[in-house]
Amino acid sequence: MLDVQKTANNEMADAAPHPQEARTIRREDYRPPAWFVPEVHLDFQLGAEQTVVKSRLDVRRSKSAKYQEPLILDGDDLLPVSVRVDGESWTDWTLVEGALHLPLTGASHIVEITVEIDPSTNTQLMGLYASGGMLCTQCEAQGFRRITFFPDRPDILSRYTVRMEGSKADYPVLLCNGDKTDAGDADGGRHWAEWVDPWPKPSYLFALVAGDLVANNDSFTTRSGKEVELNIWVRDGDLPRTGHAMKALKDSMRWDEQVYGREYDLQLFNIVAVSDFNMGAMENKGLNIFNSRYILADPEVATDADFDGIEGVVAHEYFHNWSGNRVTCRDWFQLSLKEGFTVFRDQSFSADMGSQALKRIEDVRILRAAQFPEDAGPLAHPIRPESYQEISNFYTATVYNKGAEVIRMMHSLMGADRFRKGTDLYFDRHDGEAATCEDFVVAMEDGGDADLRQFRSWYETPGTPKVSARLSHDPQSGTATLNLSQQVARTGEKPEPSQMVIPLRTALLDPDSGEHEGEELLVLDKPEQSFQFEGQTEHPILSINRGFSAPIIMESSQTPEELAFLSTHDDDPFARFEAMQQLMTNYLTARVTGTPADRDIVLQAVGAALSDESIDRAFLAELILLPSEAFLGDQMVVVDPEAIHEAREKLRGKIAVQFERKFRRLYAQCTPGEFSLSAEARANRKLRNVCLAYIAGSQADDAAALASDQFADADNMTAKQGALSVLSHMEDKDRGWAFDDFYNTYRDNALVLDKWFTLQSLSQRGDTVKRVKALAGHPDFTMSNPNRVRALYGSFTANPVRFHDASGEGYRLIADMVIHLDAQNPQTAARFIPPLGRWRRYERGRAELMRTALEKIAATPDLSKDVMEQVSKSLA
């Protein structure tokens, strides 16, 4: 690729700032654009090694601009081959930090620019790149500036007309946003297509795909009777694996009409699956581009979790058509406006398609695994950040998942009807605009008749609030008093921590029957508050934050007996799950710190769950699962991964031995019949895997044989993966053959091979670091495919006891990998910093080794902005 710094033709070209002094962009510095670009024409002469991009921009000076600002067109790694203004060749331009500055004096101009780019060397996977023989784009957040010079900011909305031309043999299919308006053959075995997108959009929603693809073609009739053509484009052999994604798409289209009143607005909706992709998927207008792992599935190669992932991500990207595209973001600080809201929408959709309770447990598990640690560490930020150096680093669990929790709280506070009135007004009022989080909140207030003044603190406050709850009881008056208080982490930017509005769904359970007289929504919005409940003859049992109505850490002094009671009696499934988790967590953290704790009550609670015939099997599987080692670590002031691992394994072994007969019986009862995706069949598969893991945990002699049989007999990936996971921790004589068999069967399927890498990285065996190093040299390993990198290294950082090996070998392995990957793909490389960045929480020896690994990265010359920002914040 061209190096702009060395080849710029102008002495005014500034050197790019050294990454260590990377510029900080602040929310308060937002200024409206000085120029608009209502119309864009693009012409692509496509080629893998050279693509020529000609643009014709209709630029208009903003009427409110006070000064004659030059037209500034962002560029990244681009050089103009030619520049014309109003039809004349134009040489009066400069390149400043990659951007093209044109000192134009009129109120409107036509600017025409030609650039040449090389997709084949684009290893960042941002802009136009080659993947598996096709050409595709990724523009969010700032990839469009790698395709052509443009004011690459989301508050510039333009109408796009695109002509693309390429080799008919290499790229028989040519796709872009909107509708195809014309097509034809050209000289030299080439052909072309013209696409017009009638909806003005920001540049980050631009997309183009050229490749040898086939489509699963279908259609959907909207509620007003418009027929929409649907296509899911994949490589030839993958067509049979697109059915689930197609069903998810049609379900999403119907759901958004029913629940939000939102209809699709083009005649065509295309999805393309690509194998090299930094993220999950992208909502480009009318042309969603997906990581193939969120499209392709059949029972032989996909687990039930994979099926769910596909349903959720297809819905997420589809829902963006309204929450993101029709109403977009004014600037990147508003990212949660589209992402938090859209995650909430996809969560609600998945819950409606399956089980509310299981979906909520999953959502909270993700929040606690990814977002709580982020919010408690050096990279904490509000859901609407105040500043950034590299926006790619802010596609976080905070912006997405905590953002979704904030919307969910509005939903709880307002109720479904008023919430819907609010979103209706939001979509009406801001249709075709680039909006802010504040616009959203105002629309919810106006449309939904709500007062969200104090609620706004959720947008500006980082950290997970802590709530403490104390319930007392006066038998004389029959009054129960609930004392609540909240603690919000003090942040550097604000003198006084804000008080949050915390909606807590609460019920008081009768201590004998477990019944209650109805749930109440208590709203905690002061530092301390008490609530009284009359008519309580006995001391009730407190069930609070039911359904996880607020994303907080609850510190209640409930006794093990009360938690055990809730784990068997609570009628809110989430609360029931939560009580069991809390009971187990309290026991395990006590064991790790050497405090006495009652194990029997934990065993009794698990035993009660196992003998409760009324429990759904999928829910039972969740209920008896031990909290993860990572979660346990998060509960401790100083994390000792080995001690946590030992304590947890010991409890697992004890439960396994105590209930071995039960687990075996359940295992047999869950034997699958004909494969189906029904809730019942899935529940059986899930519980069966959990039972298998417990049976193995009992150190039973036949555990390896049982897992091997399950592996060999399985007709679906959920059972195969469950068995292989159990085997992965065993000795080579037990596990070797299965891994070999798996490899030989699936070596040609990249997505399944990822699982093969993942399961080895997640092994608890003492030699896992060595094994990961060896796998990095495996012929099927490549650093240029992000899925493969995540499968091997991402999984490894999620293996607490091995990543945190006391030798520090795991840390060094990741540091060296990051340094290597950064030169190729900064965005994916930067995602590996947070696991090291939490070094302050670990015991001294490990903390020191983690910090050393970060310092080694920091000392590497020519680090990307992406990695530099994360590393310097982690060391600060």
Closer to ligand PHE by CB, 403 or 641: give it.
403
Cα separation, 145 vs 103, whole angstroms:
19
Return the structure tokens found at 330: 């004014």
**Residue 28 bears catalytic tag:** no
Per-residue H/E/C for 504-554: EEEEEECCCCCCCCCCEEEEECCCEEEEEECCCCCCCEEEECHHHCCCCEE
Beta bridge partners of 451: none
Residue 139 to residue 146: CA distance in whole angstroms:
8
Per the listing, tokens 């310092």 go with 855
Residue 404 binds ligand PHE (CB under 6 A): no
**Least distance (Å) between residue 342 CB and Zn ion:** 5
Angle at 658 between CA 652 and CA 662, to 5 degrees: 100
**Does residue 556 contact residue 517 with C-beta atoms inside 8 Å?**
no
- Cβ 291 to ligand PHE shortest distance, Å: 9
Residue number closest to ligand PHE, CB atom:
279
Contact flag: residue 124 with ligand PHE (CB under 6 A): no
Contact 363/303 with Cβ under 8 angstroms? no
Residues 673-702 that bind ligand PHE (CB under 6 A): none
Minimum CB–partner distance for residue 252 and Zn ion (Å): 13
# residues contacting ligand PHE (CB under 6 A)? 12
316 near ligand PHE (CB under 6 A): yes
Binds 361: which of Zn ion, ligand PHE, none (CB < 5-8 Å by kind): none
The residue among 341 and 631 lying less far from ligand PHE, judged by its C-beta, is 341
Indicate which single residue of 395, 548, 746, 832 sits in contact with ligand PHE (rule: CB under 6 A).
395
Q: Identify which of residues 664 and 865 has a Cβ nearer to ligand PHE in the complex.
A: 865
Query: Closest distance between ligand PHE and the C-beta of residue 397, in Å?
Result: 12
Q: Which of 55, 137, 138, 684 binds ligand PHE (CB under 6 A)?
A: 138
Q: How far is the C-alpha of 24 from the C-alpha of 675, rounded, in Å?
A: 53
Does residue 167 come out as left (phi exceeding 0), alpha (psi in the -120 to 50 range) or beta? beta
Measured from the CB atom, the residue of 339 and 578 that comes closer to Zn ion is 339
Q: Nearest to residue 807, comparing CAs of 665, 641, 622?
A: 641
Looking at 137-145, 155-163, 430-438, 447-455, which segment touches ligand PHE (CB under 6 A)? 137-145
Contacts of 791 (CB under 8 A, 6+ apart): 753, 754, 755, 757, 758, 761
147 binds, among Zn ion, ligand PHE, none (CB under 5 to 8 A by kind): none
Give the active site residue among 165, 317, 374, 622.
317
As a three-state string, the secondary structure of 229-254 is EEEEEECHHHHHHCHHHHHHHHHHHH
Site string for Zn ion, 297-336 (x = CB under 5 A): ----------------------------------------
* Residues from 713 through 732 that contact ligand PHE (CB under 6 A): none
**CB of residue 505 vs Zn ion: minimum separation in angstroms?**
27
Q: Which is nearer to Zn ion, 161 or 321 (CB)?
A: 321
CA proximity to 703, closest of 725, 726, 686? 726
Q: Print the binding letters for residues 707-746 with Zn ion: x by CB under 5 A, - otherwise.
A: ----------------------------------------
Nearest to 641 by CA among 803, 416, 775: 803
For the bound state, the minimum distance from the C-beta of residue 342 to ligand PHE, rounded and expressed in Å, comes to 7
What residues contact residue 617 under an 8 Å CB cut-off, 6+ apart?
670, 680, 683, 684, 686, 687
Among 43, 74, 112, 140, binds ligand PHE (CB under 6 A): 140
Strands 51-61 and 35-45: antiparallel
Q: How far is the CB of 379 from ligand PHE (least distance, A)?
A: 17
Residues 6+ apart with CB under 8 A from 216: 231, 232, 234, 239, 242, 243, 246
Give the H/E segment covering residue 497.
Answer: none
Whether a cis peptide bond, with omega within 30° of 0, leads into 774 is: no
* Interaction of residue 288 with ligand PHE, rule CB under 6 A: no
| DSSP label of 369 | I
Part in contact with ligand PHE (CB under 6 A); list of ranges 4-12, 299-307, 315-323, 369-377:
315-323
Q: Which of 112, 194, 256, 283 binds ligand PHE (CB under 6 A)?
A: 283
Interface stretch with ligand PHE, choices 134-142, 166-174, 222-230, 713-721 (CB under 6 A): 134-142
Report how far residue 157's alpha carbon sits from residue 830's, in angstroms, rounded to the nearest whole number: 30
Please list, in sequence order, all residues whose beta carbon lies within 8 angstroms of the beta carbon of residue 210, skipping any fewer than 6 positions away. 46, 134, 135, 136, 164, 166, 170, 171, 173, 174, 175
What is d(CA 434, CA 440) in angstroms, rounded to the nearest whole number? 11
| Sole binder of ligand PHE in the list 279, 409, 441, 850 (CB under 6 A) | 279
Please choose which of ligand PHE, Zn ion, none residue 138 contacts, taking the beta carbon within 5 to 8 angstroms, the exact cut-off set by kind.
ligand PHE
CA atoms within 13 A on the CB side of 197: 31
Rg (CA), the chain: 28
* Sign of CA pseudo-dihedral 838, 842, 846, 851: positive
Binding of ligand PHE by 622 (CB under 6 A): no
140 binding partner (options ligand PHE, Zn ion, none; Cβ < 5 to 8 Å by kind):
ligand PHE
Stretch that binds ligand PHE, among 138-146, 184-192, 641-649, 722-730 (CB under 6 A): 138-146
Show the binding pattern over residues 847-876: x = contacts ligand PHE (CB under 6 A), - = does not: ------------------------------
What residue 374 binds from Zn ion, ligand PHE, none (CB within 5 to 8 A, per partner kind)? none
Cβ nearer to ligand PHE, comparing 70 with 340: 340
Q: Which residue has the tokens 């991964």?
A: 641
The pair of three-digit structure tokens given for residue 52, joined into one six-digit string: 């020529």
Residue 339 sits in the site that holds ligand PHE (CB under 6 A): yes
143/551 with CB nearer ligand PHE: 143
282 binds ligand PHE (CB under 6 A): yes
Does the footprint of ligand PHE cover residue 335 (CB under 6 A)? no
Residue 190 CB neighbour total at 10 angstroms: 17
What minimum distance in Å lies between the beta carbon of 142 and ligand PHE? Answer: 10
Q: Which of 175, 246, 281, 434 binds ligand PHE (CB under 6 A)?
A: 281
Residues that bind ligand PHE (CB under 6 A): 138, 140-141, 279, 281-283, 316-317, 320, 339, 395
Residues that bind Zn ion (CB under 5 A): 339, 342
Write out the catalytic residue numbers: 317
